[in-house]
Amino acid sequence: MRSFEVALADGRVLVARRDSEPDLFRALRSGGSNLGVVASFELELYPYSGMWGGFRVLNPDYLQQAIEAFLGFIPKMEADQKGHTILALSSENDVLQVSQFLAYTDPVRDPPVFDQLQEVPASQKSLHLTHQSSLATFLAALQHGSGAHQALATITFRPNRQTLELACSLFKQTAAEMMDMAQSTLEIHLLPRRFKLKDDCYGIASSGDPLICAVIAFTTNDGKHNGTVLQAQEKYLHQIAEEAKRNNVGHPFLYMNYAGRFQDVITSYGAENVEFLKRVAAAYDPDQVFQRLLPGPFKLYGRMGDIDGNLEP
pLDDT recorded at residue 142 = 64
Would you say 219 and 143 are in contact if contact means Cβ atoms under 8 Å apart?
yes
Per-residue confidence band for 143, with pLDDT thresholds at 50, 70 and 90? low
Strand-pair category, 211-220 with 95-104: unpaired
Judgement on whether residues 97 and 148 belong to the same structural domain of the protein:
yes
Asked if the structure places residue 88 within a domain, the reply is yes
CATH of the domain at 285: 3.30.465.10
CATH of the domain at 186: 3.40.462.20
Judgement on whether residues 236 and 275 belong to the same structural domain of the protein:
no
Q: What pLDDT, in 10s, does the model give residues 120-131? A: 999 999 999 999
pTM for the structure as a whole:
0.90
pLDDT recorded at residue 137 = 83
Indicate whether 307 pLDDT > 60: no
Asked if the structure places residue 126 within a domain, the reply is yes
Residue of 143, 258, 94 lying closest to 191 (CA atoms) = 258
Judgement on whether residues 59 and 128 belong to the same structural domain of the protein:
yes
- Mean predicted lDDT score pLDDT of the chain: 89
Per-residue confidence band for 308, with pLDDT thresholds at 50, 70 and 90? very low
State the total domains in the chain: 2
Asked if the structure places residue 265 within a domain, the reply is no
pLDDT recorded at residue 144 = 56
pLDDT recorded at residue 305 = 36
Judgement on whether residues 73 and 218 belong to the same structural domain of the protein:
yes
Span 230-252, mean pLDDT? 96
- What gap in Å lies between CA 124 and CA 121, rounded to an integer? 9
Residue 98's φ and ψ, nearest 5 degrees, are -115, 130
- What gap in Å lies between CA 37 and CA 279, rounded to an integer? 18
Asked if the structure places residue 128 within a domain, the reply is yes
Long-range contacts of 207-212 (CB under 8 A, 24+ apart): 207/158, 207/251, 207/253, 209/158, 209/159, 210/74, 210/77, 210/78, 210/158, 210/159, 211/156, 211/157, 211/158, 211/159, 211/251, 211/253, 212/156, 212/157, 212/158, 212/159, 212/164, 212/188
pLDDT recorded at residue 310 = 36
Judgement on whether residues 66 and 204 belong to the same structural domain of the protein:
yes
Asked if the structure places residue 263 within a domain, the reply is no
Indicate whether 304 pLDDT > 50: no
Judgement on whether residues 23 and 104 belong to the same structural domain of the protein:
no
Judgement on whether residues 199 and 58 belong to the same structural domain of the protein:
yes
% the chain with pLDDT above 90: 71
Last residue of a domain, one of 258, 281, 299: 258
pLDDT recorded at residue 309 = 36
Judgement on whether residues 164 and 282 belong to the same structural domain of the protein:
no
Would you say 194 and 77 are in contact if contact means Cβ atoms under 8 Å apart?
no
Judgement on whether residues 37 and 55 belong to the same structural domain of the protein:
no
Residue 199 vs residue 33, higher pLDDT: 33
Measured CA angle at 195 (ends 190, 196), to 5 deg:
165
Judgement on whether residues 141 and 232 belong to the same structural domain of the protein:
yes
Judgement on whether residues 23 and 168 belong to the same structural domain of the protein:
no
Residue 35's φ and ψ, nearest 5 degrees, are -130, -30
Judgement on whether residues 86 and 202 belong to the same structural domain of the protein:
yes
- What gap in Å lies between CA 98 and CA 111, rounded to an integer? 22
3-state helix, strand, coil in the chain (%, to 5): 35, 25, 35
pLDDT recorded at residue 56 = 96
Asked if the structure places residue 6 within a domain, the reply is yes
Q: What pLDDT, in 10s, does the model give residues 35-74? A: 999 999 999 998 889 999 999 999 999 999 999 999 999 9
Asked if the structure places residue 194 within a domain, the reply is yes
Residue 86 vs residue 202, higher pLDDT: 86
The residue range of the domain holding 298 is 1-47+270-313
Asked if the structure places residue 239 within a domain, the reply is yes
pLDDT recorded at residue 147 = 58
- What gap in Å lies between CA 26 and CA 22, rounded to an integer? 6
Span 269-297, mean pLDDT? 92
Last residue of a domain, one of 258, 279, 294: 258
Q: What pLDDT, in 10s, does the model give residues 183-240? A: 899 999 998 766 655 677 888 876 677 899 999 999 888 888 889 989 999 999 999 9
* Polymer length in residues for the chain: 313
% the chain with pLDDT above 70: 91
Last residue of a domain, one of 258, 281, 304: 258
